[in-house]
Amino acid sequence: MSRNAVYSDYRHMLDQIEHRYSRAKDGYEFDFKTEIEPFLNQYKVLADQLLHINTDERLTEQVKETMSDELMELLMSCHISRFSLKLYHEKFKYINMWINHAHKEDLL
């Protein structure tokens, strides 16, 4: 992804995270080399690009850094069945809320 990410890229990524976490909870074990590593390589670009989107009074530089860090943790943890459902939902909702805010405010 050499171009700047758009809202639909983030929506697709969140759908993929949700799908993978559901599979992990159902007992599927992901192979690191063939499934997890390519996934991380594909989507870590989106986490990095969050640092470069525009800001407003709510979406500050600190929020963008936190959002990027939380997204990276979510990208890795969605493959682990023992990852707390509560923590997963908190992180997912946090990322989703800010992605939607950035889209609504034309920052993304």
**What confidence tier does 2 reach under pLDDT thresholds 50, 70, 90?**
very low
Write out the chain in H/E/C secondary structure: CCCCCCHHHHHHHHHHHHHHHHHHHCCCCCCHHHHHHHHHHHHHHHHHHHHHCCCCCCCCHHHHHHHHHHHHHHHHHCCCCCCCHHHHHHHHHHHHHHHHHHHHCCCC
Cβ–Cβ under 8 Å, residues 68 and 44: no
Checking if the pLDDT of 15 tops 70, the result is yes
What's the average model confidence in pLDDT over 9-20? 97
Instruction: Determine whether domain 7-104 maps to CATH 1.10.10.10.
Output: no
What residues does each domain of the chain span?
A: 7-104
| Beta-carbon contacts of residue 40 (< 8 Å; ≥ 6 apart) | 75, 76
